[in-house]
Structures are given as C-alpha cells and as structure tokens.
Amino acid sequence: MSRIGFILKPDKSEAGVLLENLVPWLCELGHTPVVTTEDQIAPAGSEIVPEAELGAAIDFAVVLGGDGTMLRAARLVSEQERPVLGINLGQLGFLTGFDPERAREAIEAAIAGELPREERMRIAARFTRPGHEPITRYALNDVVLHQGAMARMVEIEASVDGHAVADYRADGLIVATPTGSTAYSMAAGGPIVVPGIGAMTLTPICAHALTHRPLIIDERAVIRLTLGAEARGVILTVDGQWGHSFLPGDAVELTVANKPLVIFSAGKSFFDVMRDKLHWGVRGNR
C-alpha cells in the first residue's frame, strides 16, 4: 500500500475533476489518497491532513497543475525527501512532465518503482534583519530582490564568498537555480543552465550599466545581497511564494539547500523538453 498526496493548482476546476477520478481508483487498488485542508477538496475515500503535515504523511506526491503548483509542492515535501510526480494542467510544464491522459499510467509506474528520478537543486535563502531572528526560506526556482510599487531603480550590493562582485543599479536582481534558469531569469536575459550542473545564476533586471551581465556562480559559494543606503520600497521574494520587505541594513545569504526536490521523470531529456516548451526548431527529421 502507498500513501499518495495530491497538490492542486489554484484554479481547481480541471484538477478537481481529475482528482475525483483518481481517488476511487486508488482506493480500489488498496492505496490511500491524501489531500490537504488548504486545497478544500476531499473526495470520498481520501484522507485529509493540514498542509504543513503533508510531507510526513505520504510516500510521494502528485501535482495536478503546472510549474507554479510544483513550486508549492517543493515547499511542502522536499524537507521530508518525498518525490513528486507532475501531471501537467498548466501552460509550459517544464517540471510537470506527464499529460493528464497518462495520469493513471504514471501513478501506477511510480508506485511500482518503475519511473526514473532526478534531483533538482534548491536554494536556501537566509534573511537577516538587525534585532530580529533570521528567517530561512527555500527556492526551487529563484530568489529575487526587486522594486516594489514605485518604478525606481534599486541599489543592490552583491558579494560571493566575501568578495565584492558589483554595486548594481537595476530594477532588481535574480539568483536562480538551474531549474529556475528557464523562468524569470531567462526572461531577464540570463543563461539557461542544464539541470544537474552545480551552479547558481546571478541576473540583473534592466541594469543601468550595460556592462553588468549575468554571472554563473559555483554551487559551493555563498552569495550575499544587501542594499545601498538610499534604497526604499524593496521586496525580497522566494519562488514567488513568499515575500518580505527588504530595508537598508537587511541581508540575505544564498547557498545550496541540503535537500533537493526529487521528481519522477517522464523519460525525456532536458533538451527534448526545451525544444518542445520553448519551440526551438531543429533541422531535419530527428
């Protein structure tokens, strides 16, 4: 018997229909479907747990959604090292590799131990403010320092392993994992990094100095970001899932997290996925 957790996209219409189809099927096979109180959908036969307890309550998780829902799954189950299977109900679906029509087939294969697994690096972001306890949050995609409501430049001081890199004047700065290199960082002109390469990227957003180009940083490094004295209205966001005001005197240190996200692979190479999702043409018949 397996305990299978389900994590649903915010717009639950399509995901809810699929969940209603999967729960009785899994129960017939003798498995236990587990849903969270946060998703507010509990088909008959499913077990309900608080969201914070999901990772400890399951053997693996199934995402019914897109890459944004996968970011939520990473936050819920990575620390317990539970693998995640993604059923793509989103748009791009870089991480949710299985189509809804293959949901049963994919879940059966995961239960049987027949699906390959891959690890995706996460970033540990340790935020400190003088006089307060440090806060640590984890990113599968990226950590971003950016301007808030006002359209003004941000002054960001960046260092790597104690060595000054640059004083950026820009709309913001993105620190991304290889997984996140195809998200916001790519849109800002950052490099695409093949998952499995031990690196983080440092990408300025609309830098004032045209010579401030994206950097690739070794995964063993410690990246530290602070603000210039005149910076105001700056926000720190982690995977777009958590945000906090960021003031002069605050700091965030970014390192590779001890535990990656483990995902079930659909068997396609990263380059297959990239060509498909980013519509990169290939000559000839391959």
Model confidence pLDDT, tens digit, residues 176-197:
999 999 999 999 999 999 999 9
CA 49 to chain centre: 23
In a domain, 213, yes or no: yes
Domain containing 268: what range? 3-120+260-278
The encoded tokens of residue 40 equal 């507010």
Model confidence pLDDT, tens digit, residues 2-20:
999 999 998 878 999 999 9
CATH number at residue 94: 3.40.50.10330
In a domain, 283, yes or no: no
111 shares its domain with 204: no
In a domain, 173, yes or no: yes
235 shares its domain with 165: yes
116 shares its domain with 127: no
In a domain, 207, yes or no: yes
In a domain, 150, yes or no: yes
Query: What integer best gives the mean pLDDT of the chain?
Result: 93
Determine which one of 39, 67, 142, 239 is catalytic. Answer: 67
- pLDDT at 66 exceeding the cut of 80: yes
**What pLDDT score does 282 carry?**
63
In a domain, 284, yes or no: no
**Is there a contact between 265 and 118 (Cβ–Cβ < 8 Å)?**
yes
- pLDDT at 94 exceeding the cut of 90: no
Domain count, the chain: 2
149 shares its domain with 70: no
84 shares its domain with 148: no
**What pLDDT score does 97 carry?**
86
CATH number at residue 205: 2.60.200.30
91 shares its domain with 32: yes
Q: Is the dihedral of CA 87, 140, 201, 117 positive or negative?
A: negative
Farthest CA pair distance, the chain: 62
Q: Is the dihedral of CA 192, 193, 194, 195 positive or negative?
A: negative
Whether residue 67 lies in the annotated active site: yes
* Averaged pLDDT, 233-249: 94
